[in-house]
Amino acid sequence: MTTILYLLLLLPYWIYSSAATAGYLADPFASILYKPSLGGQGHGSRRKPPLINVGTHHRTWAVDRVVQLFLDTCLQIGQGGQVVSLGAGSDTRFWRIMENGGDGLDRYIEVDFPHVTALKAQRIARSPRLSSLLNRPTTLPTPSSSSSSPSPSFCPPPPVPSSSPSSNSKSYTISHGGAALRSCSSLYTLLPLDLRTSTSTIRELLPHLDSTRPTLFLAECVFCYMPPEDSREIVRWFGTTFTRCVGVVYEMIGLKDVFGDVMRRNLKMRGLSLPGAVFDDAQSQANRFLDPALGEGVFAKAGGKTLWEIREGVIPPEELQRISKLEILDEIEELRLVLSHYCVAWGAKGEGLFDVML
């Protein structure tokens, strides 16, 4: 079981390709962004056990659901929202949103270490399918006249990128030595950033965001690798900078038992630690948004559910039935154990955003 615990925890993005290939997730972009790096087959080329694929499905389904509720709310209130994905890795969520029309989205920002963003920028530049969605017009009604014709953000269709990721393009620009990419309409931005330095997070993100727009930030398996005081500063910054904000965190909980001991030993052998994995359950994870140390008026409401609770009470039965036919999964008790140690937690502030929850 130690291998399963390690895989499900540590590399949530390269295991994503396994779940997509097996049919758990409908994602036409996974084969582009999750392909192995040049020079080796990589972890992503190997099929993962059913338990990992199921866990990846539940995590992705839950986070996708919260993001979609946020975008639906932005559409209803007539103001495009902003999504900031911290530690985005090879995530395809932006392109999946745009493939479905991108309604409610004003801009999407992804952040990760420079070596990660450089590879992603290269793959975006070399893929006509990815680059063609960077500036697709979005339908955003205005508060003054929701019945009027939409005023889309428009960029001309991009040319087919050359083999060089640094080539000039009318649809995006690349900077920071090839590690940053930005669409000409500012709909999508990819930034190289070390999240462990909270002051740099503020300095790099603020020029790309509008503090008056509804904003959602994602942190999937990110804060657990940071000291709690550092992640607290990031949560505080979002909560104090934006008048309407939703934060979503996915990571492990309850690591004071045998499960946690096994996980920590497994990571220690690989030179890794979890200084931020200090929450006992989903509710205490959610309470990070209500921590008095954040100050007053930051987040007003918070909640959380384990992946097992999401499986049992949130994911539609027909979806669970569909994925149950993909692979044989006999380890139901082991599945319960693993899913009970991971949760999705959220915090919200600002009118209209309190229903963005699972």
CA distance 304 to 309: 10
Query: What are the pLDDT digits (tens) for 185-235?
Result: 999 999 999 888 767 777 789 999 999 999 999 999 999 999 999 999 999
59 is in an annotated binding site: yes
| Residue (of 32, 80, 89) closest to 60 by Cα position | 89
Is there a contact between 124 and 190 (Cβ–Cβ < 8 Å)? yes
Each residue's pLDDT expressed in tens, for the chain with a length of 358 residues: 544 444 444 455 567 888 999 999 999 999 999 876 544 444 444 678 899 899 999 999 999 999 999 999 999 999 999 999 999 999 999 999 999 999 999 999 999 999 999 999 999 999 999 999 998 654 444 443 333 333 333 344 444 444 444 444 458 999 999 999 999 999 999 999 988 876 777 778 999 999 999 999 999 999 999 999 999 999 999 999 999 999 999 999 999 888 888 888 888 888 888 999 999 999 999 999 999 999 988 999 999 999 999 999 999 999 999 999 999 998 899 999 999 999 999 999 999 999 999 9
Q: What is the 3-state secondary structure (H, E, C) of 174-239?
A: EEHHHCEEEECCCCEEEEECCCCCHHHHHHHHHHHCCCCCCEEEEEECCHHHCCHHHHHHHHHHHH
pTM as predicted:
0.87
| Residue (of 176, 91, 99) closest to 134 by Cα position | 99
Domain formed by 57-137+160-253+271-349, architecture: 3-Layer(aba) Sandwich (3.40)
336 is in an annotated binding site: no
195 is in an annotated binding site: yes
pLDDT at 13: 57
Order of strands, sheet of 188-192, starting from the edge strand that comes earlier in the sequence: 172-175, 180-183, 188-192, 105-112, 81-86, 215-220, 245-252, 342-349, 301-306
pLDDT at 330: 86
Q: Using DSSP, state whether 251 is helix, strand or coil.
A: strand
Give the list of residues 6+ apart from residue 334 with CB closer than 8 angstroms, or none: 1, 4, 51
Query: What are the pLDDT digits (tens) for 1-17?
Result: 544 444 444 455 567 88
Give the list of residues 6+ apart from residue 187 with CB closer than 8 angstroms, or none: 102, 105, 106, 107, 108, 134, 135, 136, 138, 153
User: Which sequence spans correspond to the domains of the chain?
Assistant: 57-137+160-253+271-349
Is there a contact between 81 and 104 (Cβ–Cβ < 8 Å)? yes
Give the distance between the most distant pair of CA atoms in the chain. 60
181 is in an annotated binding site: no
